[in-house]
Amino acid sequence: MGLHKFKPIPSGRMGMLWTLASIRNAALLEFGCMGHMHYGRVFLNRAGVVDACKLYSTHIDETDIALGGTERLSRAVADIACRDKPRVLFLLPSAVPEIIGTDIPALCKELQPDYPDMRLLPFRNVGFDINQHRGIQETLLHLVKTLPQNVPKTPLPTFNLIGSCADLFRFQADAGEIVRILEGTFRLKPLCVLTSDTSVEQIEQLGGAHVNLVFRREGVPAAEQLQQRFGTPYLLARPYGIQGTCEWIEQLAQITGIMPDRSYVNGQRDEAQRLISPARPLFRPGRNQSENRRLSVGGHADVVRGILSFACGELSLPQGRCWCDSPAMAAEDIPYFTEEQWTQAVQGQEKGLLMASGEVLAWAGRNEELQIANPDIKLRLNPYEPPFVGFRGAIHLASLWVNEALRQQ
């Protein structure tokens, strides 16, 4: 690993931890150093993940590494089963046990008969060559392959939201806006919000939903697995903006065959249009001080693309330098930027609207209210902050942009 002034791309292990840590009635045991879990817990607390999955670490020493000892792991499993009695215990090896070849799945198979009331679920693929987004994808897929039970469809229409995880900035608010819109538009109730607001029992009922909403591309393999097993259709989209949200609703109506409540949708659309209308003159093309309105965005590829569709498509803001945070998600219009590249891009555009991680905005001395990605620099205690998606997200984004443009002007 090279030298970094800022945080490098997180590992697959971190992606797995951020995906599993919000699942209630479960525990997670890492076979690795205590410091790993400590720093992971710090991030989760700052992101607002509290009182969910119980997090533990065994610690390892030179003897465990040299001789391949797993006694610490076996004792920890027994202690967790006695102390917490979780329905599922996730086992996650750190990099060292993974590299030396500790066979966690085999150990789980050996120990499972001793714990009939607690399922042992091991995870792999946490080496140095797996990044955060791949870890999230593999974890979501493993969860839907192993935990869902064979259940009938719910009597009333329900949905699963797949891909709402703690690594995304303001994940709770965005998921809440999706739930609000679907309940008002289709009378659809959430069956499982995977994984930011769910329990083991809700994951077991995943197959009862009538549609799966995939909130990020890492959730597509999990949705395909559920479609293959339960016949559940899915829609991959993050609805940004007023027009974008209306189009998303129409797509969902076609997939589910449920007629949306037009009066509710029109009311939400008209309210958003009315609240945004005072700012529209400042967004019109050809105005003076256009450099103050140029929008640069850096973060998760799906978030960047969604924000640009609203800002540059619906509101006609000029586009600045945009990038994503994963080489695997890079595209011609949204490339991946290394640390050196994004620092140069930010320094080269002193004016305009910049939306990126809290770390980037703090370093550049820019408006931290325009944060859309992690790493964060604040403690997030309020899960009811304004969202970025949906109708209310459109109002929130427009308010951020117009006030920042006015401040610079």
What structural domains does the chain harbor?
12-130 (3.40.50.1980), 275-408 (3.40.50.1980)
Q: What is the pLDDT of residues 161-179, one digit of tens each?
A: 999 999 999 999 999 999 9
* Per-residue confidence band for 13, with pLDDT thresholds at 50, 70 and 90: confident
Q: How far is Cα 334 from Cα 254, in angstroms, rounded to an integer? A: 29
Q: What is the pLDDT of residue 34?
A: 65
Q: What is the pLDDT of residues 263-273, one digit of tens each?
A: 999 999 999 99
Residue 198 has pLDDT above 60, yes or no: yes
Q: What is the pLDDT of residue 8?
A: 81
- Residue 396's H or E segment, with its range, is helix 390-408
- Region 249-266: mean pLDDT is 97
Q: How far is Cα 212 from Cα 27, in angstroms, rounded to an integer? A: 26
Residue 39 has pLDDT above 80, yes or no: no
Residue 101 has pLDDT above 70, yes or no: no
Residue 204 has pLDDT above 90, yes or no: yes
| Edge-to-edge order in the sheet of strand 319-324 | 319-324, 295-299, 353-355
Residue with tokens 């620099």: 377
**Structure tokens that stand for 207 in this block:** 């197959």
* Per-residue confidence band for 35, with pLDDT thresholds at 50, 70 and 90: low
Count of Cβ atoms closer than 10 Å to residue 7 Cβ: 11
Nearest Cα to Cα of residue 128 among 5, 2, 305? 2
- What is the secondary structure of 26-72 as a DSSP string? EEEEEES-HHHHHHHHHHHHHHT--SSSEEEE----HHHHHHT--HH
- Region 233-249: mean pLDDT is 98
Q: What is the pLDDT of residue 244?
A: 98
* Per-residue confidence band for 387, with pLDDT thresholds at 50, 70 and 90: very high
Question: Per residue in 321-332, is it b (16+ CB within 10 Å) or e — as a string?
Answer: bbbbbbeebeee
* Per-residue confidence band for 149, with pLDDT thresholds at 50, 70 and 90: very high
Q: What is the pLDDT of residue 6?
A: 80
Instruction: Return phi, psi of residue 213, to 5°.
Output: -100, 115
Higher pLDDT, 291 or 88: 88
- Region 227-235: mean pLDDT is 98
Count of Cβ atoms closer than 10 Å to residue 78 Cβ: 13
Q: What is the pLDDT of residues 321-341, one digit of tens each?
A: 999 999 999 999 999 999 999
Q: What is the pLDDT of residues 331-371, one digit of tens each?
A: 999 999 999 999 999 998 888 999 999 999 999 999 999 99
Instruction: Return phi, psi of residue 297, to 5°.
Output: -135, 135
% of the chain residues with pLDDT over 90: 74
Q: What is the pLDDT of residue 166?
A: 94
% of the chain residues with pLDDT over 70: 92
- Region 89-106: mean pLDDT is 77
Q: What is the pLDDT of residue 17?
A: 92
Q: What is the pLDDT of residue 1?
A: 52
Q: What is the pLDDT of residues 150-164, one digit of tens each?
A: 999 999 999 999 999
The mean pLDDT value of the chain amounts to: 91
Q: What is the pLDDT of residue 69?
A: 60
Q: What is the pLDDT of residue 61?
A: 63
Where do the DSSP E strands lie in 67-220? 88-93, 119-122, 158-164, 189-195, 198-199, 211-214
CB 34 within 8 A of CB 209: no
- Region 197-217: mean pLDDT is 98
Residue with tokens 């080496």: 127
Q: Within its chain, how far is the Cα of 283 from the centroid? A: 30
- Region 286-311: mean pLDDT is 88
| Edge-to-edge order in the sheet of strand 119-122 | 54-57, 26-31, 88-93, 119-122
- Region 235-249: mean pLDDT is 98
- Region 41-68: mean pLDDT is 78
